[in-house]
């Protein structure tokens, strides 16, 4: 693995996305629109303040998962990855380059989503807005790394979508969006502790309500980062040169 090759891969990905307006809209605009739609639905009720932090975790996570997995899969299906790996480019360079590129996009996406939720939709934040942004960014990067990992096992875009029920939906159901995690049955609560999205939602809610100190938020961020690093490592190990 070399830093130069990693940055070159990231630059190539960003250049491709820059010339794809639909992907840019999906990455940057759609999560905010979905958050705005939910805020509109629950106008004049306290519900949006309750579920708003979870939505900041949910929508960017799902969008980054889909975009990263489908983009990586397309590289394999078109033979681009095989050609790249025939040159002095390792799998780790490729995965880290993609992670870096989508991580930079996640900064923009998270900034737009958090700003829209707080200053347009009126989401009440009692804690630090910068800490909220940091957790939202970590969550978006997590979605990216899980998408890169999932792409190693898919042979088509349809199969990528099939991974949603396996990797994403359980995290949505057990993450505390519909019911606080401490009210879940004991077995489900224990399972949710091992799902990274649960920790992102917990951290965002803790910041929004200012119910925990910075040490707690830092611990949740470390857990999210550990899952993201693990997904990058597994993704680089399992990455195939070309889809059969």
> Of the ranges 1-10, 71-80, 114-123, which is most confident?
114-123
Q: What pLDDT is recorded for position 241?
A: 56
The rounded distance, in Å, linking the Cα atoms of 94 and 100 is 10
Q: What pLDDT is recorded for position 212?
A: 87
Q: Residues 6 or more apart from 92 whose CB is under 8 A from it?
A: 1, 236
Q: What pLDDT is recorded for position 153?
A: 78
Q: What pLDDT is recorded for position 85?
A: 64
Q: What pLDDT is recorded for position 84?
A: 65
Which of these, 221, 58, 194, lies nearest to 135 by C-alpha position? 221
The rounded distance, in Å, linking the Cα atoms of 27 and 126 is 27
pLDDT higher than 90, residue 138: yes
Q: What pLDDT is recorded for position 71?
A: 84
Report how far Cα 124 is from the mean position of its chain's Cα atoms. 23
Q: Which residue has the higher pLDDT, 242 or 154?
A: 154
Q: Residues 6 or more apart from 243 whose CB is under 8 A from it?
A: 73, 76, 77, 155, 156
pLDDT higher than 90, residue 121: yes
Q: Report pLDDT digits (tens) over 177-215.
A: 888 898 999 999 999 999 999 999 999 999 999 988 889
Q: Report pLDDT digits (tens) over 58-117.
A: 999 999 998 888 888 887 777 766 676 666 667 777 888 888 998 899 889 999 999 999
Which of these ranges, 123-127, 150-154, 164-168, 223-227, has the smallest mean pLDDT? 150-154
Q: What pLDDT is recorded for position 86?
A: 67
Which of these, 88, 90, 143, 134, lies nearest to 114 by C-alpha position? 134
The rounded distance, in Å, linking the Cα atoms of 17 and 176 is 33
Mean pLDDT of 129-141: 92
Q: Report pLDDT digits (tens) over 21-47.
A: 888 888 889 999 999 999 999 988 888
């Amino acid at each position: 693995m070399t830093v130069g090759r990693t940055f070159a891969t990231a630059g190539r990905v960003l250049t491709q996305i820059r010339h794809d307006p639909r992907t840019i809209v999906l990455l940057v605009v759609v999560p905010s629109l979905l958050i705005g739609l939910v805020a509109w639905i629950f106008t004049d009720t306290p519900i949006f303040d309750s579920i708003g932090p979870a939505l900041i975790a949910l929508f960017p996570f799902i969008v980054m998962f889909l975009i990263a997995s489908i983009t990586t899969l397309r590289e394999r299906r078109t033979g681009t990855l095989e050609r790249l790996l025939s040159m002095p480019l390792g799998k780790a360079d490729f995965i880290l380059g993609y992670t870096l590129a989508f991580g930079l996009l996640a900064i923009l996406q998270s900034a737009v989503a958090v700003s829209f939720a707080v200053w347009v939709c009126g989401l009440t934040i009692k804690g630090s807005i910068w800490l909220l942004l940091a957790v939202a960014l970590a969550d978006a990067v997590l979605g990216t790394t899980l998408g890169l990992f999932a792409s190693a096992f898919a042979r088509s875009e349809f199969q990528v979508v099939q991974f949603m029920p396996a990797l994403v939906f359980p995290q949505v159901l057990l993450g505390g969006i519909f019911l606080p995690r401490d009210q879940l049955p004991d077995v489900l609560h224990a399972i949710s502790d091992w799902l990274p999205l649960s920790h992102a939602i917990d951290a965002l809610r803790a910041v929004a309500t200012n119910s925990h100190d910075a040490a707690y938020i830092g611990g949740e961020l470390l857990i999210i980062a550990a899952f993201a690093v693990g997904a990058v490592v597994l993704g680089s190990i399992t990455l195939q040169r070309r889809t059969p």
